[in-house]
Amino acid sequence: MIEVEVKARAPPGIEEKIAGLGGARTGAEVHLDLYFGSRSRNFAETDEALRIRIKEAGAFLTYKGPKLDPETKSRREVTVQVDDPHNLESILESLGFFRAAVVKKRRTKYSLGRATLCLDEVEGLGSFLEVELSGGEVWEEEKRAALEVLARLGISESIRKSYLELLAER
């Protein structure tokens, strides 16, 4: 699956703007994201990511492929639910992976048409808005739709870097 995602700093009053466009709050959750590195492959150079996400609804292992375009964070993403994230981390470490970083955030989700909007408060970074749509191999339509949502919210500048990359720059 291709996840089409655009991200921006969340401006003041963004929740009211989302509601004004007809967006509906669908929930809130806390994420603990454990990112892994490999001794045989530099994910920063290959623009990939391997992550265990732990949240109230369960734990998930996700592989993210390289970004597909210069404007968005769109990329191939494969996710599986896992029953025991701690044992999974032990397996990954036994295979030569290591915990590279931890990202903690509180996410409030909204639905707006086909898009999911995520208002994230990221520990150590601040507030961000992500607009996400899922697409198949032909994902350009979703990309245009995600960028249009940002424009309708009055946001002109997007950020292509992941939270992991932003934290590494600090």
In a 13 Å sphere around the CA of 2, the CA atoms on its Cβ side amount to 19
Which of 35, 63, 110, 163 is labelled catalytic?
35
Asked whether the predicted pLDDT for residue 91 surpasses 70, the reply is: yes
CA neighbor of 108 nearest in space, from 98, 117, 99: 117
Give the model confidence (pLDDT) of 33-90 as tens digits.
Answer: 999 999 999 999 999 999 999 999 999 999 999 998 888 888 999 999 999 999 999 9
Map out the domains of the chain as residue ranges. 2-169
Q: Give the pLDDT score at 71.
A: 85
| Helices and strands (H, E) in the chain, number of each type | 5, 8
**Is 163 a residue of the active site?**
no
Domain 2-169 is in which class?
Answer: mainly beta
The pTM for the full model equals 0.91
CB burial of residue 156 (10 Å; 0-12, 13-18, 19+): exposed
